[in-house]
Amino acid sequence: MEWNRDGFTISTDRERLDRGAIHDFLKSSYWARGIPRSIVEKSIENSLCFGVYEGPRLIGFARVISDYATFAYLADVFVLDSHRGRGLSKWLMEVIMGHPELQNLRRWTLATRDAHGLYEKFGFRRPAKPERQMEIADVDIYVRKP
């Protein structure tokens, strides 16, 4: 699928993704620091991916992990620093939340350190009952020495 606005494109075509650019961004991000290229490749192959483009150049990305029936996890959302402040993150979220395969899901989740305001505009809230949620989080898995 593809969406166009103001000279920008959002596409779910995995073949169009610049996997090197995605890896370059993610390996320096706070949430995936040091992630190997092979893990990025595998995550792309097993997710619904959204590339944001200016012409042929990838300038943003997000992926959704879902069973397409009850649950979705939003991950790896970014817009390059050079393109922030243009409403692209908001547009990306509008496209993701409106995607026909992601409608009527019982639960969406995500993790963020600093973009709560963006996600709240799309209905995300802190868990109402965090005591019911559990996780295994190995945040240094990609940078820890074997």
> Tokens 């505009």 identify what position?
121
**107-131 residue pLDDT tens:** 999 999 999 999 999 999 999 999 9
* pLDDT over 70 at 4, yes or no: yes
Q: H helices within 3-86, ranges in order?
A: 19-26, 37-45
Each residue's pLDDT tens digit, 55-75: 999 999 999 999 999 999 999
Domain spans of the chain, in order of start: 2-132
Q: Model-level pTM?
A: 0.93
What is the arithmetic mean of pLDDT over 38-55? 97
Q: Which residues of 60-70 are buried (b: 16+ CB within 10 A; e: fewer)?
A: bbbbbebeeee
Quick one: pLDDT at residue 139?
86
* CATH number given to 2-132: 3.40.630.30
pLDDT confidence of residue 145: 60
pLDDT, mean of residues 126-142: 90
